[in-house]
Structure 1
Amino acid sequence: MTQRIRFLLVFWLTSFQLFAQTAGDSLPTERRYPLKAFIVPAMLVGGGAALLGHPTREPFNQSGHVSSADEYLRFGPYGLRVGLQLAGIKPAVKLGDEIAVTVVSNIVMGGITEGLKRTIHSTRPDGSDQRSFPSGHTAVAFTGAELLHQAYKHKSPWISVAGYAMATATGVLRVANNEHHWADVLAGAGIGIASVKITYAVYPVIKRKLQRPRKPAVR
């Protein structure tokens, strides 16, 4: 069973390249989305898959709850984007497109995360259920961080750093709170980043098809 699950994860990782090769242009630059953009999320998900079923020794006290900050911190990158918008700092894409890629990215992320949870049935460190892999909180946080990076990387690298710092802190707290293994948060981070990159690859194609003028009906 474990071998089958790992095969499915490896197959999913290779699909990143298929999306990048066939999906078309990226949203902000109208250029073909580079394959190298999927290296980091593939490594994160691959690392999580490699650790799946082999829980590492956690460097935290496993008997207690450290903090509830992860419940709110996962939305930090989204809040920062809203704050920048309200401050008049414009993102790299139009507001309508930004809202669209945010919605689609979260749908992709949620579908992948929930599908893996229902398929793998990994037990949480505290034994509460079998929905440990991957970490949904971490996936949400890194989806937000990657969306923030794509929208404001042209302004300052420190904006991206702030988003990824909040996402990383979310993942660490999930482990510290005995909710997840390191494998879960690594995979969640990779899924979050990949979901945004997949969306940025396919969204321009979908948008062009929807905006293509319809041919007048022949009477």
Structure 2
Amino acid sequence: MIIPAGLISYGIVSKGSPFFKGIDEDIRNGVSRGNNPQIKLDDFSRFAGTAGVFALDAVGIPAKHNLKQRLFTAAVSNMIMTATTRIMKSTISVWRPDGSANNSFPSGHAATAFVGAELLWQEYREESIWYGIAGYAAAAGTGYLRMYNDKHWFSDIAMGAGVGILSAKIAYWLLPLVDNRLQNPKKSYVILPIYTGGQFCLNASLQF
């Protein structure tokens, strides 16, 4: 809990502190300067960790939990993360570095990426810590690209990362409460991928 608590605390304090706002400006000047060519990889890399939770098991690297349990933790963590980031974006007015909108805080891309990184860490750290490290590296890369593309301040990334990690941890705390139902082989589930042209979604329905 130290890492997500620290990231969230940093994000909160940064919005009321001229000192941390100065850090945001300094990092932006060093990373973006507002004139970098756009790299859209962050729109896809944010899903890397969550995709890896299912892809690695599919190719024969066993996850810690079965498919239904992983669907539950992935769905719950992403629901918590999405609700939290949307509420914050709609209530805390922070302009993006490029001035395109005033919903910069926190970074939804970073939150999504760090949910996946924590899911990957929880499921595969007993197989090898390098899976989790790779997930966190991809998440950190996503955060960097959001700053490189001049879409977020560093404090937005920190807050998004904290929310993402904490959301995944909450999902795993809730897992034992529904574990017996998830492991019942007589229960059914449906996985439905949807691509809208601008966003990829994975809908999961569990019948208890």
User: TM-score normalised to the size of structure 2?
Assistant: 0.79
- Residue 204 of structure 1: CA displacement? 1.5
Specify whether residues 46 and 81 from structure 1 end up closer, same or farther in structure 2 by C-alpha distance, changes over 3 A only. same
1:184-210, Cα deviation, whole Å (9 max, x unpaired): 000000000000111111232244699
- Mean Cα deviation higher: 194-203 or 101-110: 194-203
Matched, 1:153 2:125: yes
Q: Please list every run of 5 or more consecutive structure 2 residues that lacks an aligned counterpart in the other structure.
A: 184-208
* Pairing of 1:1-219 with structure 2 (within 5 A): 38-52=1-15, 54=21, 55-57=24-26, 58=28, 59-60=30-31, 61-207=33-179
- Residue 117 of structure 1: CA displacement? 0.5
Q: Which structure would you say has the larger RCO, counting Cα contacts within 8 Å and 6 or more residues apart? A: 1
- Residue identity over aligned pairs, in percent, reads 39
Runs of 4+ deviating beyond 6 Å: none
Specify whether residues 83 and 205 from structure 1 end up closer, same or farther in structure 2 by C-alpha distance, changes over 3 A only. closer
User: TM-score normalised to the size of structure 1?
Assistant: 0.75
Question: Partners of 2:68 and 2:96 in 1: how far apart?
Answer: 39
Say which SS state the counterpart of residue 56 (structure 1) adopts. helix
Q: Please list every run of 5 or more consecutive structure 1 residues that lacks an aligned counterpart in the other structure.
A: 1-37, 212-219
Say which SS state the counterpart of residue 185 (structure 1) adopts. helix
1:21-56, Cα deviation, whole Å (9 max, x unpaired): xxxxxxxxxxxxxxxxx1110101111122225243
Question: Partners of 1:210 and 1:68 in 2: how far apart?
Answer: 37
Residues 65 and 178 of structure 1 are in contact (CA less than 8 Å); yes or no, is this contact kept in structure 2? no
Q: CA RMSD in A?
A: 1.8
1:56 counterpart letter in structure 2: E
1:121 counterpart letter in structure 2: S
Question: Partners of 2:13 and 2:38 in 1: how far apart?
Answer: 27
More strand by share: 2
